[in-house]
Structure 1
Amino acid sequence: MTLTPGQRGAGDANVPSPADSVTATPHRSMVTLPHERETFARMRGTEERVADAITRSAGRMRFAYLHAVWFAGWILVNLGVFGKAAVFDPYPFGLLTMVVSLEAIFLSTFVMVSQNRQAARDNIRADIDFETNLRSEVWSAHIGRSLGLDAEQVELEVQRLVAQSRARLDGSPADPPGGLPGTPEPASLPK
């Protein structure tokens, strides 16, 4: 969102006011998560659908079981367990090796196609997240100014709470002695 000096909020020259954000809304990307899913569903061609279906089925245990039975059957037949007349790929099973190698080549290609599509989808989701976070930051700054909060004081309190949360997650003491240098007590924030 490009802002001209006339669009900036009255309280801070670097932060647009929410009214400016609302004005700019028609110009922003209107892609949301449900729209993103619909967009990707429409954009998928036949090749992508086939690649996704193959990747989905190859990623199931049923696929592994099927291959275990297939390989065991192939080996038993070609070892002559069911009679010498049934042998079509004698030991060391050169045909089986070629078939498995070709299958691995195609499967890895299908998996890469699906991964590339997922990466593109993840990039769109990251863009949506960034836009949402940026808008939230702009609104938070505006609301803080409107309430008369000191941004530096609020930031110090946020840093203290983040440090406290990280300490709890790490199993360290909940409050470091004395907190962060220059951190105000929560009661000192304007109400």
Structure 2
Amino acid sequence: MAENRGNGVFRGTEGHMAEVVERNIKALLNRRKQEDHTRTASERISDAVTKFTGSMLFVVIHLVMFGTWVVWNLGWLGLPPFDESFVVLAMFASVEAIFLSTFVLISQNRSNIQADKRADLDLQVSLLAEHEITRLVTLVTAIAKKMDIDEAHDPEINELAKDVQPEKVMDTMEKHQESLKKEKA
């Protein structure tokens, strides 16, 4: 049976969420809100422009605007053309593209910084979990040896009981990448 607590979190034997998970979710949401409040005016503007330009409303506005421009200057509306060679339209579209790409790059740079922070957090959590698991392997192996369980003498367990050194893992990864590059060349 599941029960609903007053805080809106579903708890019980089914769908149970540990308190620490709930706390972590709240902490991450609070951090995200805090980061949003510390954005500069230019970051807010570039995010707003990027959000709008990535919408269907933006596409529809441009279809209507450019479509009207083309139809008008082809003379189909019976109005005098103001850009028969479409040079002004091309210039307008080019300048708009320059500004839009700049706004998108500003937003992407900020997103990359946030992604790097999250990747660093993921790495730290993974390293902590690896360290804790290594300690558990050591403890369980000692218990298994005390109980004279055959698997406690498996040579692979000694490897598992060693702490991973991230700098050595990264060095090894870089060596393998360099050797792959040499093989391709």
Amino acid at match of 1:108: S
Asked whether 1:74 is paired with 2:69, we answer yes
Alignment of 1:59-98 (within 5 A): 59-85=54-80, 87-89=81-83, 91-98=84-91
Identical residues among aligned pairs (%): 38
Instruction: Return the letter of the residue paired with 1:101.
Output: S
RMSD over aligned Cα atoms: 2.2
1:154: how far off? 8.2
Q: What residue is the counterpart of 2:111 in the other structure? A: 118
CA deviation after TM superposition for structure 1 residue 143, in Å = 1.4
**For residue 93 of structure 2, what is the amino acid of its counterpart?**
V
Per the alignment, residue 7 of structure 1 pairs with none
**Match of residue 53, structure 2, among 47, 53, 58:** 58
Q: Say how many residue pairs are matched.
A: 123
* 1:147 alignment counterpart: 140
Q: Distance in 2 between matches of 1:70 and 1:59?
A: 17
1:27 corresponds to: none
Pairwise mapping of residues 1-191 of structure 1 onto structure 2 (< 5 A)?
33-85=28-80, 87-89=81-83, 91-148=84-141, 152-153=156-157
CA contact (8 A) 1:40 1:121 kept: no
Name the stretch that deviates more: 52-61 or 103-112.
Answer: 52-61
1:126 partner amino acid: A
Q: Answer 1 or 2: which has greater helix percent.
A: 2
Q: Structure 1: give runs of 5+ residues left out of the alignment.
A: 1-31, 157-191
CA shift, 1:56, in A, is 1.0
Q: Offset of 1:141 from its aligned partner?
A: 1.0
Q: Give the whole-Å Cα distance in 1 for the aligned partners of 2:87 and 2:109.
A: 33
Question: How far did 1:44 drift?
Answer: 0.8
Cα distance change, pair 35–125 in 1 and its aligned pair in 2 (3 A): farther
Deviation at 1:78, TM superposition (A): 1.5
Looking at structure 2, the residues matched to 36 and 120 of structure 1 have their Cα atoms a distance apart, in angstroms, of 14
Structure-2 change in CA distance of 1:53 and 1:152 (3 Å): same
CA distance in structure 2 between the partners assigned to 1:54 and 1:124 by the alignment: 24
Instruction: Name 1:168's counterpart in structure 2.
Output: none
- Which 10-residue stretch deviates more, 109-118 or 63-72? 63-72
Counterpart of 1:179? none
TM-score scaled by length of structure 1: 0.58
TM-score by length of 2: 0.60
AA of the residue aligned to 1:49: R
* Cα displacement string for residues 79-107 of structure 1 (whole angstroms, at most 9, x for unaligned residues): 2222244x222x21111111100100000
Q: Is the 8 A contact 2:137 2:157 kept in 1?
A: no
